Amino acid sequence: MAIPPVVALEIGTSKVVALVGEMREDGHIVITGMGEHESTGVRKGEIVDLQNAALCVRSALGAAEETGKVTINQVHVAVSGGHIQALINSGEVPVIDPAGRISRDDVDAVMNVAEALNLPPDREMIHTLCQHFRVDNQEGVIDPEGLVGAKLALNMLLVHGVRARLHNVINVVKSVPLEVSDAAFGGWCSALAVLTPNQKRDGAIVVDLGGGTTDYVAYSDNVVAAAGVLGVGGDHVTNDIGLAFKIPTAQAERLKRESGSAVFDPATGSKQVVIPAEGGFQGRTVHLKALHTVVNARVDEILVMIRKRLDKESVLHHIGAGVVLTGGGARLHGVVRLAEKIFDLPCSVGKPINVSGLAVVTEGPEYATCSGLVQYGFQESDDGEAGSSILNKFLGFFKG
């Protein structure tokens, strides 16, 4: 029987994106449909106006249905927002077998202990991602089943968020009305889309520079070592430009995209850029050096904050494959050079590599989250890399 398509939906601060993915017989994923719509009702990755957000979702999904020639009844949703946090929890159990041979039951038992974290009542688990096992004093065990030992331990990365804000995303989709198959952390989806197996093994950081948030995920030795979200993104750069030069948001956004730079370019000298009059705006001339100063200040702040978090979690010395930038902010001039300076690591712009199909998707770093979410949708029923999504427990709340 043919595997049904997976529809991925990202309700971002800047735009809503919907992708339809189909899996070929050889297991390769092809993006066959796409829809997008400028976002309203979303701020910093969180829903602030359900009705307007639902209109944007409906429009994006309608376009995806038309281009993908499918009828969409259910979707996978990416979640983000500054409320999302991750921490490492450890579990340990004695080995049941008197001879010390570790069984599948022992593995299941230690996983249950490691994921049994008492969260505050207002928070909900999103993912439980296994890191490495430990057998007695032997660290870094990948698969302990069949090994011999007295004690089995496991470190697990737990990703969680504020329940109400997660529910708000689900409620937007339900109001369309559609069912939500599952929800996944957007930063992890971006990493699934752009990283190769070698990068995951050698250690890599994915920084998704979105409109209202910046998600990050660090891989080390094939496992997710750290993850998190900053409630700051490209819209904040735009707002800084608007305030600094007293220009409307639309002109500030255009100025950022066309002339902005995250680093100072000596070649700009005393060059200026003219902002034309439009819709009651009288027009203005801006010095490029001043513009780049404003852009650099905010982007530098964002990347330094991530660097400090990863320093605190002792992750950076495990990174051998560098930093990969995704999201719309990855298109900003000079951002790769700035990231290389801040992280002191090689840096590149990441594009979806594990799917094919629509060129606009496979060539665009801004589609990494949704592309990875399609991949996650096909993986979720397997026991492979995808960690269990605890969100399924409360998604049942909304069905029927």
What's the confidence (pLDDT) of residue 388?
Answer: 45
C-beta pairs of 392-395 under 8 Å, 24+ apart in sequence: 392/182, 394/124, 394/163, 394/166, 394/167, 395/170, 395/180, 395/181, 395/182, 395/183
How many angstroms separate the CA atoms of 230 and 209, rounded? 10
Strand partners, 151: 94
Q: Does residue 175 register a pLDDT over 90?
A: yes
> Do 49 and 376 touch, CB atoms closer than 8 A?
no
What's the confidence (pLDDT) of residue 238?
Answer: 97
Q: Does residue 97 register a pLDDT over 60?
A: yes
pLDDT digits (tens, 9 = 90+) for 7-22: 999 999 999 999 999 9
How many angstroms separate the CA atoms of 20 and 53, rounded? 20
C-beta pairs of 45-48 under 8 Å, 24+ apart in sequence: 45/12, 45/13, 45/80, 45/81, 45/82, 45/186, 45/210, 45/212, 45/213, 45/229, 45/231, 45/233, 46/81, 46/83, 46/165, 46/168, 47/11, 47/165, 47/168, 47/169, 47/171, 47/172
What's the confidence (pLDDT) of residue 198?
Answer: 96
Sole residue written with tokens 């490209």: 234
pLDDT digits (tens, 9 = 90+) for 124-155: 999 999 999 999 989 999 999 999 999 999 99
How many angstroms separate the CA atoms of 41 and 59, rounded? 14
> Do 7 and 20 touch, CB atoms closer than 8 A?
yes
Which residue spans of the chain are classified as CATH 3.30.420.40?
197-352
Q: Name the CATH superfamily housing domain 197-352.
A: ATPase, nucleotide binding domain (3.30.420.40)
* In the chain, % of residues over pLDDT 70: 94
* Mean predicted confidence (pLDDT) in 342-359: 94
* Mean predicted confidence (pLDDT) in 170-182: 94
Helices 50-68 and 163-174, packing angle to 10 deg: 50
pLDDT digits (tens, 9 = 90+) for 217-243: 999 999 999 999 999 999 999 999 999
What's the confidence (pLDDT) of residue 104?
Answer: 96
How many angstroms separate the CA atoms of 368 and 357, rounded? 14
Which residue spans of the chain are classified as CATH 3.30.1490.110?
85-162
Sole residue written with tokens 């690591």: 345
> Do 275 and 286 touch, CB atoms closer than 8 A?
yes
> Do 38 and 61 touch, CB atoms closer than 8 A?
no
Q: Which of 66, 238, 176 is nearest to 398 (CA)?
A: 176
pLDDT grade, residue 172 (50/70/90)? very high
pLDDT grade, residue 381 (50/70/90)? low
Q: Mention every residue, 6+ apart, whose C-beta is less than 8 A from residue 292.
A: 260, 261, 262, 263, 264, 265, 268, 334
Q: What's the whole-model pTM score?
A: 0.92
Go through 251-282 and write b for each residue having 16 or more CB atoms within 10 A of its CB, e for each that does not.
bbbbbbeebbbbbeeeebeeeeeebeeeeeee
Q: Does residue 269 register a pLDDT over 70?
A: yes
Q: First-to-last CA distance in the chain?
A: 26
Kindly report the number of other CB atoms within 10 A of residue 40's CB atom.
14
Matching CATH number, 85-162, of 3.40.30.10, 3.40.630.40, 3.30.420.40, 3.30.1490.110: 3.30.1490.110
